Amino acid sequence: MLKRILRKGVRLINHWLYEDNPGAVRDAPVVYPWINAVLLKTLRESSLMRPAYLWEALHGAHLAKTLGLPAVSLIEFGVAGGNGLVALDLIAQRIERIFGIQAQVYGFDTGAGLPAPQDLRDCPNLFAGGDYPMDVAKLRSRLTRADLILGKIDETLPAFMAKSAFAPVAFISVDVDLYSSAKHALHLLGGEAKMLLPRIHCYFDDITGFTYTPYNGERLAIEEFNQEHPSRKISPIFGARHYVPKPFANEGWVDKLFMAHIFDHELYGRPDGLGRIPRADLVGKQ
């Protein structure tokens, strides 16, 4: 009986510390509880947030702040109706308020739906050209800061990278459905190290269920990227469901959390603060 009472007491204390009072989590041994507390508080403020995007973007912003970088980029490949890009817009505002760094947002899409599948690796059994079209004018009216870049990714992304006018990338979402489009999107992670954080949080939407395998779709694009880049690797975040907030531990998006490791980045080995709570001088108002 006493053990049950003590366990319940610990749960109540943890709930207060990590969910209802982010500012009180200064003595936590690692940064995850603090990030989770901020995430839960932020989700209560807006129903438009996406927890997967928010969790990874917060971790990316924390890394950038710890490394002393003044700004980050958050990028979505495959915008479609635009709810994800709107969420990134809002997340960028929270990042600036919490961490005191600038957050830029970019969305890549054809604007006219999916390109036609090129071969069987594009899962033509699931997708057809023109799926998921965009109402461009309506979406633009919902955005406050995001830059919507329209056209085929294999054309628009190289031009975007050539300008190199964006902050280091902290987070990408790949929701392009097709193997060929995902292959083009991952070209970003093979770019100059200065364009990237040393570790980049990645969300891959179309990798679970249906007929996805390591031999088609976005999973195949990941496999080939890892084969083609000896110093750049994309890996799942192993055991992620033990680190996200408990209300989300069994949700499907947890299996879609990945991290790109830029091993040839000059800051890769710099301590990133992940094993300790952020110092007061590293964060702003929550």
> What torsion, rounded to 10 degrees, do the Cα atoms 194, 199, 260, 258 define?
-150
**pLDDT for 273:** 80
Tokens of 13: 């204390």
Question: Over the stretch 163-187, which tens digit does the pLDDT of each residue have?
Answer: 989 999 999 999 999 999 999 999 9
Domain boundaries, the chain: 2-282
Which 8-state DSSP code applies to residue 259?
E
DSSP output for 27-59: G-SSSHHHHHHHHHHHHHH-TT--HHHHHHHHH
User: Torsions phi, psi of 202, nearest 5?
Assistant: -130, 140
Which 8-state DSSP code applies to residue 4?
H
Q: What is the distance, to the nearest Å, from the Cα of residue 244 to the centroid of all Cα atoms in its chain?
A: 13
CATH pick for 2-282 out of 3.30.360, 2.60.40, 3.40.50, 1.20.1440: 3.40.50
**pLDDT for 274:** 81
Question: Over the stretch 205-246, which tens digit does the pLDDT of each residue have?
Answer: 999 999 999 999 999 999 999 999 999 999 999 999 999 999
What b/e sequence results for 258-282 when a residue is b if at least 16 CB atoms lie within 10 Å of its CB, and e otherwise? bbbbbeebebeeeebbeeebbeeee
Tokens of 63: 């890394």
Residue carrying structure tokens 């200065």: 194
- Prediction pTM value: 0.88
